[in-house]
Amino acid sequence: MFDIYDFYEKMEDGKIMLSFKGEITSDLLTSILHIMESKLDNIGEEPKLKKKVYNVLVECLQNLYHHNDGTGNQNLVKSDSQNSALFLIGRSDNSTYKIITGNYILKENVLDFQSKLELINSMSKDELKEYYINTLSNESFSDKGGGGLGMIDIARKSGQKFEYKFTPINNIYSFFSLIIKVTQ
Partner 1 sequence: MEILSIDISPKTPLVKFNAQEGKLEFRGRSIPENSIEFYTPIFDWIDKYSIQPKSETNINIQLEYFNTSSSKCLLDIFKKLQNLHTSNKSKVTVTWFYEEDDEDMLEAGEDYQAIIKVPFIMSKI
- Kindly list the residues in this chain that would bind partner 1 in the complex (CB under 8 A): 26, 29-30, 33-34, 47-48, 51-52, 54-55, 58-59, 62, 65-66, 129, 132-133, 136-137, 141, 145-147, 149-150, 153, 156-157
In the complex with partner 1, the residue whose CB is nearer, 10 or 34, is: 34
Q: Write out the E strands in the chain.
A: 16-23, 84-91, 97-106, 163-168, 173-182
In the complex with partner 1, the residue whose CB is nearer, 58 or 117, is: 58
> Cβ 141 to partner 1, closest distance in Å?
6
Hey, what amino acid is at 79?
S
> Cβ 153 to partner 1, closest distance in Å?
5
Torsion 158-164-169-173 (CA) sign? positive
Picking from 40, 34, 107, 35, the residue whose alpha carbon sits closest to that of residue 69 is 107
In the complex with partner 1, the residue whose CB is nearer, 144 or 165, is: 144
In the complex with partner 1, the residue whose CB is nearer, 30 or 167, is: 30
Distance CA 13, CA 35 (A): 21
